[in-house]
Structure 1
Amino acid sequence: MSDAQQQNEAPGAGGPRHRRVRTRRQKALRAGAFTVAGLVLAGAGTAGYLYWRLNANIKSVDIDAQLGTARPSAPTDGSFNVLVLGSDSRSGANGSLAGGDTGDTARSDTAMVVHVAQDHRSATVVSIPRDTLVARPACTGPSGKAVPAVKSAMFNSAFEVGGAACAVKTTEQLTGLRMNHYVEIDFAGFAGFINAIGGATVTTSVNIHDKDSGLDLPAGTSHLNGDQALAFVRTRHGVGDGSDLGRIELQKQMVKSITKQVSSVGLFTNPAKLYSVASTLTSSITTDSALASVSALTGLAEELKGIGPDQLTMVTLPVAPAPTDPNRVVAKAPEAGQLWDALRADQPAPAAVTAGQPVNPAAPTTPASPAPSTTARR
């Protein structure tokens, strides 16, 4: 196939496509899993032969219908963006894993904006601290109830009051980026996925004991099962200054560990293992309606096949303590604006952003450093 740009197509049997440059050389599909969502896509993409059994597992939300046309313009250069949320719902199996009490509500425990470059061979992943104060736009909740705009609210409240569409709308207003796709996974789904791939290995320089998350981990290298991995990505009181920023750094380490584990377990040559992983993931995710089929996930996985861990830039949105509440943060100027400007232009994260990133409080080679403290319920 000669180098040529392909025009966007509506999702169909081959999945959603974005205009990009292709080369003659075809590489084997590898797990370019920069987030749990990436792993979902990779796993589902290789399990097409089980389409009829897996397709019905996937839950979806029609984001486009709920938000209409008053949104940032979709990229036209072949780049695209995915909002990935980890829900803290306590419903069903989540309650015994998560602890705490949220009643009948759920917030976005983890939020990542994934920007895939136009050539689909690199990506930038931006973690948004859940306690970031933002202007939340007016939304329509899942039940059809109007949710009024507020000038200042925690970022994770958008999902609580207005569901997936409100979370997407808030993210688009914050970033100026069109979210082409949406992927959500809950606690039980994450833990089940880790068990399905055989666990994940992490290394820390400190003992971590967090009675809230349930994590009790000695310093050094540990291989974690699903429940332990979930506790690892949720812990904050047992390491560093207890802030959400430190927890985000642990989540980044887990993403890298997952990527390595998926690459090492031979999913693509072990049909039984592959089906176990694909069944677990498709039963645990909610996507936008364009991705709500195995064929659509297959198409997106095909587009992401050139991205591996070395082609990922993972950053946290630059933030500073909120003037009105030291337990909350706000986007830091001018770095936050520079980051979003760069991604809208399909450019790498600016050096001012990458140089000012928080330190992983459990990293093997670096000590913890002070970071703005954020407070949020488990």
Structure 2
Amino acid sequence: MPAESTPGSGPRAWRRRRTPHDKRHSGLKAVAWTAAAVLVLGGAGAGYVYVRLNGNLTSIGIDRLLGTDRPEKAGNGSENFLVLGSDTRSGGNQRLGGGADDGSARSDAAMIVHVHEGHKKASVVSVPRDTVVDRPECTDAEGGTHSAANGVMFNSAYATGGAACAVKTVESMTDLRMDHYLEVDFTGFQKLVDELGGVEVTTTEDIDDPDSHLKLTAGTHRLDGEQALGLVRTRHGVGDGSDLGRIQLQQTLVRALVRQVKEVGLFTHPKKLYDIADTATRAVTTDSDLGSVNSLVSFADGLKGISPDSMHMVTMPVRYDPADPNRVLPQKEKARLVWDALKNDEPIPRAATTGTATGGAKGVVSAS
């Protein structure tokens, strides 16, 4: 019997209460950690791990909320999923995210991940949160209907109608079916990086951003969780101060995280493996199709062949909004090249991302 939705309003209110049989999920590599924790600990311990990790999980019924009026699923074995970093302004996230503890939430980072046929490579397209878009009418988890709106910021979709509205907006923009949804919040991200022992990056110039509380000298650094979070949130410390520069830092950190997971040697350290799996399953929320440890195991197994070198990462083609320097507008013809390439399971053509706004942060930080 599914758990009842949490009463209240706002994105956090759509999530199911944590119960031993509830559904919640981890992200790309967290699935592998979860599976390995169950297998490595073995015996009676495996049963305990399964119940404990399964009880950590929280899910959102995206398919139920969006209904049948959606793009068709790909028939070639490729998959798309939307990954959001949530900028929640409550609880432990208030200190990390800044701002008032008003209980609101926004999508602070958004990536469309396309896993190509064969699951050996992936294309990742970051969507600037400040992109001006037309948001379609959508329904939230409590059945509330939110009217369509033209010319609004992309991250208003999540703030207005939560995960389902964010997915519907992305599908409307791209005409691509989002097969899965994953969301991670600030506190969970920070803890996960710390559990992994930090991530290593190299900066080519000093970074000093009081807004994100990040201060680094040029050189190689092993970032702890708080510093890594500061890096993915840095906006005024690099480039032109726009969201585009921050996206380039986020993409670099994703590569560094994937590399760190491979270097930690989790399979030979069962206790650390379990700690990371426990942190990951508490940190991330996804669609209900990935709502159990078994589902996560299967999902991870299909992604284990993807390495940092086989991930092609770009930003959705945009241009600066002449009416507002803090907004960007989609370059529709170039963006269509991106979406068509993913729909056809082809590489994103270079022409799609040349001559577009970049934020001026390229090369400032690299994954060591």
Report if TM-score (shorter chain) is over 0.5: yes
- Partners in 1 of 2:354 and 2:206 — Cα distance? 27
What pairs up with 1:143-292 in 2 under 5 angstroms? 143-292=142-291
- Matched pairs, number: 331
2:147 pairs with 1:138: no
- Seq. identity, %: 52
**Larger deviation: 58-67 or 101-110?**
101-110
Task: Give the CA deviation at 1:360.
Answer: 5.9
- Offset at residue 312 of structure 1 (A): 0.7
The 2-side partners of 1:300 and 1:165 are apart by 21
Tell me which residue corresponds to 1:41: 31
Quote how far apart the aligned CAs of 1:102 are: 6.4
Match of 1:85?
84
Q: Is the 8 A contact 1:204 1:362 kept in 2?
A: no
Which residue of structure 2 lines up, in the alignment, with residue 372 of structure 1?
A: none
In structure 2, the residue matched to 1:373 is: none
SS of 2:27 mapped into structure 1? helix
* Residue identity in the other structure for 2:352: V
Structure 1 partner of 2:68: 69
Structure 1 position 238, deviation (Å): 1.2
Q: Residue 363 of structure 1 aligns with which residue?
A: 363
- 1:170 Cα deviation from its structure 2 partner: 0.4
User: CA 1:97 to 1:302, structure 2 compared with 1: closer, same or farther past 3 Å?
Assistant: same
Structure-2 change in CA distance of 1:146 and 1:344 (3 Å) = same
Tell me the equivalent position of 2:113.
114
1:263-311 CA-partner distances (Å, limit 9, x unpaired):
1111111101101110001001111000011111110111112111111
Contact map agreement 1:206 1:362 (CA 8 A) in 2: no
Residue type at the aligned position of 2:30: V
Provide TM-score, normalisation by structure 1.
0.84
CA distance 1:54–1:215, change in 2 (3 Å): same
Deviates more, 1:141-150 or 1:157-166: 141-150
1:364 shift after superposition = 5.2
CA RMSD between the two structures? 1.7
Greater mean deviation of Cα atoms: 136-145 or 70-79: 136-145
Q: Which residue number corresponds to residue 42 of structure 2?
A: none
Do the aligned partners of 2:249 and 2:365 also contact (CA within 8 Å) in 1? no
1:205–1:362 CA contact under 8 A, matched in 2: no
CA distance in 1, matches of 2:216, 2:135: 38
Which letter maps to 1:266?
A: G
Q: Which runs of 5+ in 1 are unaligned?
A: 1-35, 367-378
Q: Secondary structure at the match of 1:314?
A: strand
How many angstroms apart in 1 are the aligned matches of 2:268 and 2:199? Answer: 20
Question: What is the CA deviation profile of residues 74-99 of structure 1, one whole-angstrom value per residue up to 9, with x for unaligned ones?
Answer: 11111110100000002221112222
* TM-aligned CA deviation for residue 202 of structure 1: 1.0
- Residue 353 of structure 1 deviates from its aligned partner by 2.6
Q: CA deviation at 1:143?
A: 3.2
TM superposition shift of 1:46: 2.1
Gap change, CA 1:234 and 1:175, over 3 Å in 2: same
Aligned to 1:15: none
Instruction: Give distance in 2, aligned partners of 1:37 and 1:242.
Output: 29
Query: Can you list the C-alpha shifts for 1:295-334, whole angstroms capped at 9, x where unaligned?
Result: 1111011111211111110010010123543321111132
Quickly say closer, same or farther: Cα 1:139–1:364, change in 2 above 3 A. Answer: closer
TM-score w.r.t. length of structure 2 = 0.86
- The runs of 5 or more residues in structure 2 that have no matched partner are 1-25, 39-45
Report the CA distance between 1:57 and its aligned residue. 0.4
1:42-82 per-position Cα deviation (integer Å, ceiling 9, x unaligned): 32232234221101101100001111000000111111101
**Mapped contact 1:203–1:363 kept (Cα < 8 A):** no
Whether contact under 8 Å (2:106, 2:159) holds in the other structure is yes
Q: Cα distance 1:335–1:362, how it changes in 2: closer, same or farther (>3 A)?
A: closer
The one-letter code of the counterpart of 1:298 is: V
Q: Deviation per CA, 1:247-273: give whole Å up to 9, x if none.
A: 001111111111111111111111011
- Inter-partner Cα distance in structure 1 for 2:119 and 2:168: 25
Q: SS of the residue aligned with 2:29?
A: helix
> Following the alignment from structure 2 to structure 1, what is the Cα–Cα distance between the partners of residues 167 and 128?
15
Q: Distance in 2 between matches of 1:364 and 1:242?
A: 13
The equivalent of 1:344 in structure 2 is 343
Deviations 1:309-368 (A, max 9, x none): 1111001001012354332111113211100011001111111135456376262599xx
Distance in 1, matches of 2:355 and 2:30, equals 31
Counterpart CA distance in 1 for 2:247 and 2:317 is 12
CA distance in 1, matches of 2:308, 2:362: 20
The alpha-carbon deviation at position 39 of structure 1 amounts to 2.4
Structure 1 residue runs of 4+, over 6 Å off? none
